Amino acid sequence: MTELWLIGIGTGAPGHVTLEGQAALREAKAVLIPRKGAGKEDLAHLRHAILRAAGAEARVIAFDMPVRDPDLPYQQRVAAWHDAIAERWGVALADVPEGPVALLVWGDPGLYDSTLRIAARLSPPPKVRVVPGITALQALTAAHAIPFNTVNGAVMVTTGRRLRDHGWPEAAETVVVMLDGDCSFRALEPEGLHIWWGGFLGMPEQVLDHGPLAEAGPRIVETRAAARERHGWIMDTYLLRKG
C-alpha cells in the first residue's frame, strides 16, 4: 500500500459526499469497510450505498472493529483501542496490490475523529490524503436552520465527559457536544440555556428537537433512548447556547 485516502462521507446521506470524494472513491483500488457487530450492520450498508452512488468499483475489504476494554482508564482504553484498530487495518491491507486504499470516514477525517491518529500507527506509515466531508456540526445547524455562532460569539466544541466534569466552558457563548451517550446536558443548570439536538443527521431516520433546555432536555433523553433501542445504535450531537 502506497497511499491511504481518508474520505469524509458526511453523516449518512450519499449526497453529503463531495464531488472530490466521489472521484476519489472511483479511483481507489480498494476500500476498507468496518464491521461494528450485531445490530450495527446498517453502518456498513450505508457505506456500500455510498460506494454504489459514487460509481465505485474498488475491491471491498471488510474488517471487524475491536471493542474498548472497559476496565482500563479512559486514556489508556482509547490508546489500546486505536492500537488494535491499526493492527486490524494492517492485517486487512496485507494482500492489497499497490495503489490507493480508501477508508470512508463518518463526518470529516479532521474534526472530532481519530482516523488520522490511527493511520499514524501503521508501520511503515503510508502517505495519507484527506478528502474533507460534511460534519455533524454542519448537518445539525442546517437541519435546525441556525447559525453555528452568534456575532462575535465564542464557540466551544467539547465532550460530554468534560461538560459533566467541568461544567459550562468559561467565556463560551455556544457549546457543541459530540457523541454524548450520557446526555450530559442534564448536569447543567438549565436556566438561560437553549438546546438544538439531532440524531441520525442527514439520514431518513433523522430525529430533531430543540427548545429551552429545561423543557427540551427531558424530551431529548426519552427520544434518544427510544431511537437507540429501535436501531441498536445512534450518532447524535447537540448545540447549547446562552440567552
In the predicted model, is pLDDT for residue 1 greater than 60? Answer: no
Q: Give the tens place of pLDDT for each residue, 155-202.
A: 999 999 999 999 999 889 999 998 899 999 999 999 999 999 999 998
In the predicted model, is pLDDT for residue 203 greater than 90? Answer: no
Contact 64, 35 (CB under 8 A): yes
- The residues near 213 (Cβ < 8 Å, ≥ 6 apart) are 185, 188, 190, 193, 194, 195, 240
Q: Give the tens place of pLDDT for each residue, 15-41.
A: 889 999 999 999 999 998 888 766 667
Task: Report the pLDDT value the prediction gives residue 36, as an integer from 0 to 100.
Answer: 76
Span 206-211, mean pLDDT? Answer: 97
- For the record, the C-alpha cell of 229 comes out as 433501542
Task: Report the pLDDT value the prediction gives residue 27, as an integer from 0 to 100.
Answer: 94
Percentage above 90 pLDDT, the chain: 58
Domains by residue range for the chain, with CATH? 3-134 (3.40.1010.10), 137-242 (3.30.950.10)
Task: Report the pLDDT value the prediction gives residue 126, as an integer from 0 to 100.
Answer: 85
Task: Report the pLDDT value the prediction gives residue 97, as an integer from 0 to 100.
Answer: 65
For the chain, what is the radius of gyration of the CA atoms?
19
In the predicted model, is pLDDT for residue 43 greater than 80? Answer: no
Span 44-61, mean pLDDT? Answer: 87
> Residue 49 in 3-state DSSP?
helix
- Give the residue among 4, 1, 2 at the shortest CA–CA distance from 102: 4
Percentage above 70 pLDDT, the chain: 96
In the predicted model, is pLDDT for residue 77 greater than 60? Answer: yes
Task: Report the pLDDT value the prediction gives residue 35, as an integer from 0 to 100.
Answer: 81
In the predicted model, is pLDDT for residue 5 greater than 90? Answer: yes
- SS3 track for 151-197: CCCCEEEEEHHHHHHHCCCCCCCEEEEECCCCCHHHHCCCCCEEEEE
Task: Report the pLDDT value the prediction gives residue 204, as an integer from 0 to 100.
Answer: 87
233 — pLDDT class (breaks 50, 70, 90): confident
